[in-house]
Amino acid sequence: MKRGVKPTKPTSGLIRIISGKWRGTKLPVTDVNGLRPTTDRNKETLFNWLMPYITDATCLDVFAGSGGLGFEALSRYAKSVLMFELDKKAYQQLQHNLQKLHVTSEQGNVIQGDALIYLASLSEPFDIVFIDPPFHQNLVPRTIERLHQHKLIAQHGLIYIECELPNAGYVVPQSWHLLKQLQTSQVSARLYQHA
């Protein structure tokens, strides 16, 4: 290391809640390798799509990361959000942010561990499921399989999938119908409904 140069510390970013009861609130995000919060632009598009469905919905955020999708859902009056997060530091930050917003355990809960294992232990279906995993780990197909296998999507429930473009060739069950989609040069975002 060069003399006089300080080692760089991991920096923490912020996510912003766009609308609802916590509109404009900024929440800290732990700097974790592979953590990639959904951009404000994509988040705004997604929640415009979800506007008719979000109030009183039970939501599952399979790969919570920054919690951007889960906190936005709660801010817009979702009934509850269950979040899974593998990374311990990111999990601790999610816990801290839930406390900061005074979210009760009935409204918002986060579980640390491998979502693909924990999905098998769930028994109730969800109205809205967010699948936005770390890139380049091919997690979308296995997540779809687990959700379908364990019947975790409510009738007419919605499934949001965001992934990197090269891995957007995943296959969904025949009962999932594409409602909306958005594509940038790097990211594919799709909203399905279980009919």
- The residue whose two tokens read 């399979």 is 62
Contact, 150 vs 120, CB < 8 A?
Answer: yes
Each residue of 32-73: pLDDT tens digit? 665 666 777 888 999 999 999 999 999 999 999 999 999 999
Contact, 42 vs 162, CB < 8 A?
Answer: yes
Q: In the prediction, which pLDDT does 34 show?
A: 58
Is 2 part of any domain?
Answer: no
Is 116 part of any domain?
Answer: yes
Range of the structural domain that residue 80 is part of: 13-194
Q: How far is CA 81 from CA 108, 172, 177, 178, in A?
A: 5, 23, 23, 23
The CATH number of whichever domain residue 66 belongs to comes to 3.40.50.150
Pair of tokens at residue 111: 């579980």
Rg (CA), the chain: 17
Each residue of 64-106: pLDDT tens digit? 999 999 999 999 999 999 999 999 999 999 999 999 999 999 9
Number of domains in the chain: 1
Question: Where does 9-67 have alpha helices with state H?
Answer: 40-50
